[in-house]
Structures are given as structure tokens and as C-alpha cells.
Amino acid sequence: MKKQFIKNTLSIALMLGIAACSDNDGNQHIDLSGQVIDGYLENALVCLDLNDNDMCDASEPSQRTNSMGEYSFQAGESDAKQYRVIAIIDSQTRDSDNENADGSNDTVLADAMYSTPPGKRLLSPLTTLVDHELRTATSGTSIMALEKKVKESLSLDMSVNLFSDHVKLAKTDSKYIQVHSVARVVAKSLAKPGSDEAGKSSRDILKSRVVATKAELDGQAHFFAAIVDYDAVPEHDMAMMMAGMSHLRAELENFDPTVEPDMAAMREGMAHLRTELEGFDSSNMPGMSGMSEMGDMSEMSDTPECPEGQRWYTENEIPGMAAMCM
């Protein structure tokens, strides 16, 4: 009799436990957890947008992120599959990219909102672009196809995963250094308020900002020109590039165009250099300041004044490239 009583008590307790983890519709609750990144975004407000209005309402499960951009809260399992997670970036949010040397972080971010497709848990400026494609895509279009579309538009490597921690992966995979840099640029654009946002809904504001962001980043040349703090080239590579430029300059000082073998080698070297420098912003390169302010030097009739320590080389002296200071 005693054993039967204990057995019945355990059965009742188990049933009550299951009921406690489910709502009235039998929607069992789960721990819904993920991350919000550009750098790691601390104190971003994350919620499951149950009424699909691109706002975190008081009745919706939510939590502020920790220092690693992580969040975790209880939500209905079926709801977690059906609805998207959104993140509100506000004056309380801090980006690990802006951390000071002493570990403090006093940079106040502009208001913005990130989203990710239903079922996804990582949010970033890039997942927001993918989610925008989903909202406007033909029914049945796969997330993978939409992610590929965004990667193509941003000239990102097709092998990268936009729903992974690019901050962590950038430490071991150079392709994710570019993803991180691109995410920073997109984040700045998504935080720019439009001139006609007054009175608009959160959804319309998000839509207009994403459209403006896509227009701003339209075209590979314009996009990479916008990355003013792009740092995908390691410092030692930059040093090697500058060493190569110094060597090239020394060779050009005593260049003899009548010697065909040297000419062939020079053409090969310049072709390689031209490929490397395609779209490169030289304004931040030591020893090359002033080049970006000279415009298209090939169209100048007079020899311009070059920065100290450099001289003007004509197109004839540098086969295959425009005239330039070096």
C-alpha cells in the first residue's frame, strides 16, 4: 500500500511538472537563448515578437543581453518556431567594439533594431538584411537562398555563415574579419534615422532604414569605399606592402626601359601590384598621404607636386598603370 501511494504521488508530481512547463494551449515552454552581435552588444533588449509588430511589448518574453551579447528566456516552443526574435539597441546598449583600454565603455549607440528570421537565434546587422529579404520574398524561398543573396550583395565570401559568431570566428578565420567589418558598416547605416520617420510604425521605420542601407551599400566599389576603418589586412601584411613599394621605387630610380627582360619583369610586378591595390584606400598608408587628394592624375597635364620624399612617375615609366607619385 505504501509503495503504491508513493508511485501515485510521483505520477501526479510528474504530470504537474509537465503542466507547469506548458501554457493553456499545450505550448510547452523551452529556454530560448542566442546572441546579439556587431561586436558583442551588451544590454540590448531582446524579445520574441509574438504579435509581429517589431516592438518588445511588456507581455512578450524578453531579456537584456550580457557582456557577450547573450540572452536567454522562457518561451513557448511552437511560438519560438513561428515568430522572430528581435533586438532593440538603445542608449543602454554597449558594443564591445567600442571598449576602452581600461575595459570601460562609455560610447552611447544610436537607436536601432535588429531582427533574424523565425527559428534563428543570432541577431546582427547582417541577419537583419537577410530577414528583410525574407519579409519581401516569394513564399517558400529558403533562408539559405536569401542569405546567399545578401552575401553576394555585400561581396562576402560564399562560405561564411551570417548566423554564426563572426567576432569569435574572426580570431581564427580571416574571412570573418571582413564579415565583422561589413557588419560594423551596416550597423552604422541601420542606426541613421530617416528624415520622414515621425509618426511611422516600428515596422515601417525598420523597412525604410534597411532600404536606405541597401541603397547606400549598392555596388562593391562604393561599399568598400565606405569602410573607412576596414582592418582586414594584418599590420605585417601592410608592412610587407610598403617594403615592396620602397623596393619598387628604388628599382624605378635606375630603370632602363631599353632592357627587355627587366621590362617584362616590371610589367609582371606592376600587374600584380595593380590587382592588390584595386579599390585600396591609400589615404591611411604611411608615406602616401596626399595621393587621394590628387584625383585622377592620368588626366593632369602638368606635373603635380608630390609629397616630400616622393617623385612623379609618368605612364611611360610605369607600364600598365596611370601616372602617380611614389
pLDDT digits (tens, 9 = 90+) for 21-67: 555 556 799 999 999 999 999 999 999 999 999 999 999 999 999 99
User: Same domain for 243 and 122?
Assistant: no
Q: Alpha-carbon distance 27 to 117, whole Å?
A: 20
1: in domain: no
Structure confidence at residue 291 (pLDDT): 42
267: in domain: yes
Structure confidence at residue 299 (pLDDT): 46
In this structure, what C-alpha cell is assigned to residue 84?
Answer: 522572430
Burial 199-234 (b: 16+ CB within 10 A, else e): eeeeeebbbbbbeebbeebeeeeebbeebeebebee
**Cα–Cα distance list, 260 to 139, 247, 263 (Å):** 62, 20, 5
* Domain end call among 209, 226, 243: 226
Burial 162-178 (b: 16+ CB within 10 A, else e): bbebbbebbeeeeebbb
Contact 318, 273 (CB under 8 A): no
Structure confidence at residue 93 (pLDDT): 97
Structure confidence at residue 27 (pLDDT): 73
Residues 121, 127, 132, 135, CA torsion sign: negative
In angstroms, how far is CA 183 from the centroid of its own chain? 1
User: Same domain for 152 and 207?
Assistant: yes
* Helices and strands in the chain, H and E counts: 10, 11
Contact 292, 286 (CB under 8 A): no
User: What's the helix, strand, coil split of the chain in %, to 5?
Assistant: 45, 15, 45
User: Same domain for 216 and 245?
Assistant: no
Range of the domain at 102: 29-226
Q: Alpha-carbon distance 12 to 15, whole Å?
A: 5
User: Same domain for 246 and 188?
Assistant: no
pLDDT averages per 10-residue partition of the chain, 326 residues? 48 43 69 97 98 95 97 95 97 95 93 96 97 94 96 92 97 94 93 90 91 75 46 49 60 61 60 59 46 44 66 63 65
> Following DSSP, what letter does each residue of 221-269 receive, concatenated?
HHHHHH-TT---S-HHHHHHHHHHHHHHHHHHHT--TT-HHHHHHHHHH
Pairing of strands 85-89, 112-115: antiparallel
Q: Alpha-carbon distance 198 to 56, whole Å?
A: 19
From the list 169, 170, 161, 213, the residue with the least C-alpha distance to 188 is: 213
User: Same domain for 303 and 217?
Assistant: no
User: Same domain for 41 and 115?
Assistant: yes
Cβ neighbours, 10 Å, residue 153? 16
User: Same domain for 186 and 100?
Assistant: yes
User: Same domain for 296 and 177?
Assistant: no
Counted domains in the chain: 2
**Cα–Cα distance list, 25 to 19, 69, 74, 79 (Å):** 11, 32, 16, 11
82: in domain: yes
- Give the number of C-alpha atoms closer than 13 A to the C-alpha of residue 144, restricted to the C-beta side: 1
Query: Which pLDDT tens digit goes with each residue over 292-307?
Result: 444 444 444 466 677 6
240: in domain: yes
285: in domain: yes
Structure confidence at residue 212 (pLDDT): 87
Structure confidence at residue 225 (pLDDT): 44
* Domain end call among 176, 207, 226: 226
132: in domain: yes
12: in domain: no
User: Same domain for 258 and 181?
Assistant: no
Structure confidence at residue 220 (pLDDT): 46
Burial 109-145 (b: 16+ CB within 10 A, else e): beebbbbbbbebbbbbbbbbbbbbbbeeeeeeeebee
Structure confidence at residue 311 (pLDDT): 72
User: Same domain for 91 and 121?
Assistant: yes
User: Same domain for 150 and 269?
Assistant: no
User: Same domain for 194 and 269?
Assistant: no
Q: Which residues contact 25 (CB under 8 A, 6 or more apart)?
A: none
8: in domain: no
* Domain end call among 208, 226, 244: 226
Residues 163, 169, 174, 177, CA torsion sign: positive
